[in-house]
Structure 1
Amino acid sequence: MYDIESVIVASTVDEAIEELVKNPKAEVISGGTDVLIKIREGKMAGCHLVNISNIPELKGIEMDSDGTIIIKAATVFSHITNDDIIKQYIPNLGDAVDQVGGPQIRNMGTIGGNVCNGVTSADSASTLCVLDAKMELKGPEGTRIIPITEWYQGAGKTVRKQNEILTAIRIEKENYEGYHGRYIKYGKRKAMEIATLGCSVMTKLTPDKKAIEKLKIGYGVAGPVPMRCVEAEQMARGKTVSRELLDCICENVLKEVHPRSSWRASKEFRLQLVEEMLRRAFEETVIAGGGNIDV
């Protein structure tokens, strides 16, 4: 049973914003894979919805002349995975969203909804963190750009205001060029499972392929919000690739994460996953970049 008071189908972003301003209790719906579950569970009983799923300006992926990749917020997961720009420049994001739910969910769910939901288990979140994505919001006061490091405000909370629409996710060239990335998800099942832990790593090697020029490490479900392990990243810069370096990175990461116990997994098990998944992802990105961790 879906207790919905009203649904307005907007044809433009400005129309959607206007409807949200008219009704301060209205909520945005696009793919509906998260919102409809909440309604069915009674968490949004009697809600007013503004449907943005038919707005053309919110769909698609393009690249600016400066190399910035722009992912429109209502683009569904399956389109992201199969897009030529994504496959060529940031395939790790395509791989991450390809692990969301099953085929039906990936054909309906949108990347905008995935991040606006604010949950730490969102499969796109940790990879968007290591890509240093910027979130483009439009509201009655105009457009603002929010770094993803400032996007999450707590469990299930983001900086988006009720009367704002997330219009796009922007990824600048400097944050993907020269990197190789890998996202690894652990769940109790191989498919259609919410992440028990997600780990995303991006590695940029020096020109001689022997040392770390830059390293980015992101996690989902290692804390109340998706997070980066900045201290471990900084420690690794300029260091020669080796097993010893990886041991040091893992040691530092374990000091930065803050997983908790839940019905899905204990804190201790998540800490084990934090280290093991980092080791696998780091090694894979080094090899993909032409390096050798066993030298």
Structure 2
Amino acid sequence: MYDIKALYEAENISHAIQLLEEHPDARVIAGGSDILIKIREGKLRQPELVSIYGLDELRGVSVKEGGTLRIGSLTSFSHITKNPLIQKHIPVLGEAVDKVGGPQIRNIGTIGGNTCNGVTSADSASTLFAYDAQVELAGPKGVRTVPVQEFYIKAGTVDLQHGEIETAILIRKDSYEGYAGHYIKYAMRNAMDIATLGCSVNVKLAAGGKHLEDVRIAFGVAGPVPLRCPAAEQAVKGRAAGEETYRLAAEAILQDIHPRDSWRASRAFREHISQVLVKRALAEAVLRAGGEAR
């Protein structure tokens, strides 16, 4: 059923890096919800695998000095959704990953696997973009952090160098404090489906709760990689919350996105849906931030 050449089990992070250096063609496996399917379908033949599943130090959510949230790369979607720190500070991320597959996938799938796949449809991706997240990587040269916008290079390719593994997702305090967000996944089915389009919005309201002090808008499946929307953000930043402001965001969004035709949806349909989603997500984010959608 699974044509695997060899499976090596890492004992710790250093051992995982050593194994990847010793076996340069090996692939990292954690939950296995993606890579095992590729092997079973014959898309990945006789691979060498380095399992990091047993590395508990890569699990869990914590707060570092300065208030930075640290989400271990092996933290499952289910644990992210239920984690008290996530619910308190960035509940929209928990809501986003709760839309991944079904319960079985969410119990075994990890945030690290979701980001390292490099796919634009990953439900976590647009929300991480909207939080200006950073990706922590460990490798033979030590530990480095990469902004999530730079981590995604092209479709299916991320900035993982030889011997490196992703160890955590980092979200700085100034990226989440005072913000409220909303994620909308548009798919052909209500469950167990890949996103046709995903929109995540974060807003910070100015004193009085009527104006948008800051806005971050991100999309998945609107281009080859997840993306931020600077034109739409600038179009509404500083404006009063309300339908006219949301309309301006919808108009500007077409300057930012680059969807394509596929069997799931046409480019024109994705462009239309993006305008609908950004208005809805903005209105809901404003409500969650304590303002009035109007």
Q: Same fold (TM over 0.5)?
A: yes
1:9 matched residue in structure 2: 9
The answer to whether the 8 A contact 1:204-1:215 is kept is: yes
Distance 1:65 1:168 in 2: 15
2:117 matched residue in structure 1: 117
1:65 deviates by 2.8
Distance 1:13 1:167 in 2: 8
1:232 deviates by 1.6
Distance 2:120 2:252 in 1: 21
For residues 4-50 of structure 1, the C-alpha deviation after alignment (integer angstroms, 9 at most, x for no partner) is 00000111011011000001100000000011111112121010000
Distance 2:162 2:91 in 1: 32
Aligned 1:1-295 pairs, distance under 5 A: 1-294=1-294
Distance 2:206 2:159 in 1: 36
For residues 53-85 of structure 1, the C-alpha deviation after alignment (integer angstroms, 9 at most, x for no partner) is 100111111011311000000111000000000
For residues 224-275 of structure 1, the C-alpha deviation after alignment (integer angstroms, 9 at most, x for no partner) is 0000001221232211222111111111111210111111111111111101
Q: Which runs of 5+ in 1 are unaligned?
A: none
2:120 aligned partner, one-letter code = T
Question: How much is the aligned-residue C-alpha RMSD, in angstroms?
Answer: 0.9
The answer to whether the 8 A contact 2:249-2:279 is kept is: no
Q: Which runs of 5+ in 2 are unaligned?
A: none
Distance 1:36 1:224 in 2: 24
Worse overlay, 130-139 or 264-273: 264-273
Distance 1:273 1:287 in 2: 21
The answer to whether the 8 A contact 2:19-2:50 is kept is: yes
1:75 aligned partner, one-letter code = T
Distance 1:154 1:12 in 2: 30
Distance 2:76 2:196 in 1: 23
SS in 1 for 2:5: strand
SS in 1 for 2:204: strand
Distance 1:162 1:107 in 2: 29
Q: Percent identity?
A: 51
The answer to whether the 8 A contact 2:215-2:233 is kept is: yes
SS in 1 for 2:28: strand
2:230 aligned partner, one-letter code = V
Distance 1:56 1:285 in 2: 34
SS in 2 for 1:4: coil
Distance 2:144 2:290 in 1: 39
The answer to whether the 8 A contact 2:126-2:198 is kept is: yes
The answer to whether the 8 A contact 1:211-1:240 is kept is: yes
Distance 2:146 2:166 in 1: 10
The answer to whether the 8 A contact 1:73-1:111 is kept is: yes
SS in 2 for 1:79: helix
Distance 1:11 1:186 in 2: 40
After superposing on structure 2, the runs of 4+ consecutive aligned residues of structure 1 that deviate more than 6 Å are: none
TM-score by length of structure 2 reads 0.98
The answer to whether the 8 A contact 1:27-1:162 is kept is: no
1:70 aligned partner, one-letter code = R
Distance 2:162 2:27 in 1: 7
